[in-house]
Amino acid sequence: MDTEDKDSELASPGAMFPDSSMSPLIFEEGVAVNGAEAAGQVQVLPGQRPQKSPTPLRDSLRRLRRDKRAMISLAIIVLFVLIPLFGPLIYQHIGGTYQSALNGRIGPAQYHNPFWQELTNQDQLPSSMYWLGTDAIGRDILARLMQGMLVSLAVVIMVEIIDIGLGVLVGVLAGFFGGWIDQLLARFTDLMFAFPGLLFAILLTSIFGNSADDAFSHIPIIGPNGNARLVLVSIALAITIWPLMARYVRGQTLQLKEQQFVEAARTAGTTNVRIMWRHIIPNLFSVVVVAATLDMSATIIGEAGLSFLGLGVQAPGSSIGLMISDASDAIAVHPWEVIVPSVALAVIVLAFSFLGDGLRDAFDPRSKD
């Protein structure tokens, strides 16, 4: 079942070898029971939609629900959001008190704190006290991991706000009006494609990193615990990512503005601004969602990569990339400390890119890959 599922998702436009042994579709309250085959059915007959499709959006969501890999990814992403937000609150109340040689009696609020160093408990393997063990200076790895996920989440949110905001604004204007905005966008995207994105982010964060530390470290929430550079990291990543979003939006806008409903709106005397706001932008939903999901995976990799190189989150703080970098020095002695953050990063990144692929297939079954 699993293999069939993957086949039908991944097959290219109008796959060469349509599976003729497909069982008929069974619809029940808008949800197909026979997932994989149904997805294949839609793709084998491009242009032909199932008869009972209330709206294109619900149709797409139904296709998405049938995509097992995308749904598992979605579940992982939900966990990726919930764990760093609520995990620490719970984790810091689990566990008994402990007689520390250095710190007296301490409870889970201390030793399950991502910044607490319990120097007598270095490099421990998982136990009932430290669920994922401790690192080289006796900090709880699970607590650090949750803090690192929180950092990833914060960066993703900041980057996506800029990415979607700028990408949609410039993309729609370029697609709708053409002319110099379009030229400028084209030149700018050319430039950003030639300039490997991460290289630019490395340059920006390395030059202004210390200034960002000075400027933001006194601001509550975002400043302390070595997180001051995250704003800079987010801006750097957003600058490298948004041109691609703008390109997708521009392409879609070019198609949309030739559609009859835009023509009709124009005939009715609708202003350009209103056409863009009411008729173009709502129709960009699927393009933006797909691009944003894939960008999120790139953003998480970017933040982890910059932190890995020592350009993101600074010393007392925690980031998945920083955890990998700290632990990679002793990879031969304590491989466990590297395995935990690397596997976590791999799972999160794969979940985002699988969900992105799934969304793309669901919104536009004809343009697979």
Partner 1 sequence: MVQFLIKRFIGLIFVVIGVTFITFILGYFAPGDPIRGMLGNHFIPSVYLSLKHSYGLDLPWYQQYWHFLTNLARFNFGLSFVTQNRPVWDILKDGVPVSAELGLWALTISVLVGVPVGIVSALKANTWVDTVNIGAMLVLYALPAFVLAIFAQLVIVWFDTSTGNTWPVSGWGNPWQYTLSDLQLKIVPILVLAATEAALYARLARNSMLEVLRQDYVRTARAKGMRERTVIYRHAFRNAMIPLITIFGLSIGLLVTGAFFVEQIFNIPGIAQVSITSINARDYPVMQATVVLLAIAVVIGNLIADILYSVADPRIKVA
DSSP string, 222-252: TSTTTTTTHHHHHHHHHHHHHHHHHHHHHHH
What is the 3 state secondary structure string of 187-205?
A: HHHHHHHHCCHHHHHHHHH
Instruction: State yes or no: residue 194 binds partner 1 (CB under 8 A).
Output: yes
Single out the residue of 1, 3, 267, 282 in contact with partner 1 (rule: CB under 8 A).
Answer: 3
Rounded to a whole number of angstroms, the minimum distance from the CB of residue 254 to partner 1 is: 17
As given in the structure block, the two tokens for residue 50 are: 């199932």
DSSP state of 119: G
Q: Residue 349 interacts with partner 1 (CB under 8 A)?
A: yes
Nearer of residues 92 and 307 to partner 1, judged by Cβ: 307
For partner 1, the closer CB: 85 or 191? 191
- DSSP result, 19-69: -TTPPPP-EETTEESSHHHHHHHHHHSTT---S--S-HHHHHHHHHHH-HH
Residue 13 binds partner 1, judged by CB under 8 A: yes
Q: Is 191 in the site for partner 1 (CB under 8 A)?
A: yes
Q: In whole angstroms, what separates CA 225 from the centre of its chain?
A: 24
Judged by CB under 8 A, does residue 85 bind partner 1?
Answer: no
> Closer to partner 1 at the Cβ: 354 or 363?
354
- Of 8-16, 99-107, 272-280, 281-289, which part binds partner 1 (CB under 8 A)? 8-16
Contacts of 81 (CB under 8 A, 6+ apart): 153
Q: How far is CA 155 from CA 23, 329, 346, in A?
A: 45, 26, 17
Helix axes 320-328, 335-363, angle to 10 degrees: 150
- 208, 224, 254, 281: residue in contact with partner 1 (rule CB under 8 A): 208
Q: Which one of 45, 57, 90, 203 is in contact with partner 1 (CB under 8 A)?
A: 203
Q: Does 10 bind partner 1 (CB under 8 A)?
A: yes
What residue ranges bind partner 1 (CB under 8 A)?
3, 6-8, 10-17, 19, 187, 190-191, 193-200, 202-204, 206-208, 210-211, 297, 301, 304-305, 308-311, 321, 324, 328, 331-332, 335, 338-339, 342, 345-346, 349-350, 353-354, 357, 369
